[in-house]
A and B are shown apart, each in its own frame.
Chain A
Amino acid sequence: MKAKGSVFKYGDNVDTDVIIPARYLNDSNPAALASHCMEDIDATFPQRVKQGDIMVANKNFGCGSSREHAPIAIKASGISCVIAETFARIFYRNAINIGLPILECPQAAKAISEGDEVEIDFTTGKITNLKSNETYQAEPFPAFMQDLMAVGGLVERTRKKLGVA
Chain B
Amino acid sequence: MGMTMTQKILAAHAGLESVTAGQLIEARLDLVLGNDVTTPVAIKEFAKIGVDKVFDKSKIAIVPDHFTPNKDILSAEHCKQVREFAHKYEVENYFEVGEMGIEHCLIPEKGLAVPGDAIIGADSHTCTYGALGAFSTGVGSTDMACAMAAGETWFKVPPALKFELVGKPAKWVSGKDIILHIIGMIGVDGALYKSMEYCGDGLQHLSMDDRFCIANMAIEAGAKNGIFPVDEKTRAYVKEHATRAGTEYTADPDAEYEATYTIDLSKLRPTVAFPHLPENTKTIDDVGSIKLDQVVIGSCTNGRIEDMRMAAGILRGKKVAKGLRVLIFPGTQNISLQMIDEGLMQDFIKAGAVVSPATCGPCLGGHMGILAKGERALATTNRNFVGRMGSPESEVYLSSPAVAAASALTGFITDPEKI
Contacts and interface: CB of A to CB of B under 8 A. Distances in A.
A40 B222 contact: no
Interface in B361-419: 364-366, 370, 383, 385-388, 390, 392
Nearest to A92: B193
Nearest to A27: B74
A132 interface: no
Contacts of B188: 13, 60, 63
Interface in A22-36: 22-23, 25-28
A131 interface: no
**Which of B72, B126, B222, B365 has most A Cβ within 10 Å?**
B222
A121 B239 CA distance: 56
A110 interface: no
Contacts of A153: 142
Contacts of B308: none
Interface in A77-97: 86, 88-90, 93-94, 97
Interface string A136-165: 000000101000100001110111011010
B40 interface: yes
Interface stretch (B48-56, B105-113, B259-267, B318-326): B48-56
Contact of B387 (A21, A88, A93, A155): A21
Nearest to B45: A155
B366 A94 contact: no
Given A21-B387, A66-B140, 20 more contacts: A18-B385, A21-B365, A22-B388, A25-B66, A25-B67, A26-B74, A27-B74, A40-B392, A66-B38, A66-B123, A66-B126, A67-B140, A88-B192, A88-B222, A94-B139, A144-B24, A155-B48, A155-B49, A162-B49, A164-B49
A117 to B, nearest CB: 29
Contacts of B211: none
A116 interface: no
B51 A67 contact: no
B365 A142 contact: no
Nearest 8 pairs of A and B residues by beta carbon = A94-B140, A26-B74, A97-B142, A68-B140, A60-B189, A40-B392, A22-B364, A66-B124
Contact of A25 (B37, B385, B392): B37
Nearest to A144: B24
Interface string B2-14: 0000000000000
Contacts of B122: 66, 68
A17 B387 contact: yes
Interface in B7-64: 24, 37-38, 40-41, 44-45, 48-51
A41 B38 CA distance: 23
Contacts of A162: 49, 51, 149-150
Contacts of A63: 188-189, 222
B81 to A, nearest CB: 9
A72 B45 CA distance: 13
B192 A155 contact: no
A15 interface: yes
Contacts of A28: 40-41, 44, 78
Contact of A161 (B139, B150, B392): B150
B295 interface: no
7 contacts: A21-B387, A26-B74, A64-B383, A66-B123, A66-B139, A66-B140, A93-B143
Contact of A86 (B40, B51, B192): B192
Contacts, number: 142
Interface residues of B, number: 52
B333 interface: no
Interface of B: 24, 37-38, 40-41, 44-45, 48-51, 66-67, 71-72, 74-75, 78, 122-124, 126, 138-143, 145-146, 149-150, 154, 188-189, 192-193, 219, 222, 224, 277, 364-366, 370, 383, 385-388, 390, 392
Interface string A29-72: 00000000001110000000000000000011001111111001
Q: How large is the interface on A (under 10, 10 to 19, 20 to 34, 35 or more residues)?
A: 35 or more
Contacts of A3: none
B124 A90 contact: yes
Nearest to A163: B51
Contacts of B140: 66-68, 90, 93-94, 97-98
A41 B189 contact: no
B76 to A, nearest CB: 9
B314 to A, nearest CB: 29
Contact of A155 (B66, B146, B193, B224): B146
A155 B366 contact: no
A94 B142 contact: yes
A27 to B, nearest CB: 5
Contacts of A25: 37, 66-67, 366
B103 to A, nearest CB: 12
B38 A22 contact: no
Q: Which residue of A86, A98, A142, A155 has the most chain B CB atoms within 10 A of its CB atom?
A: A155
Contacts of B150: 158, 161-162
Contacts of B366: 22-23, 25
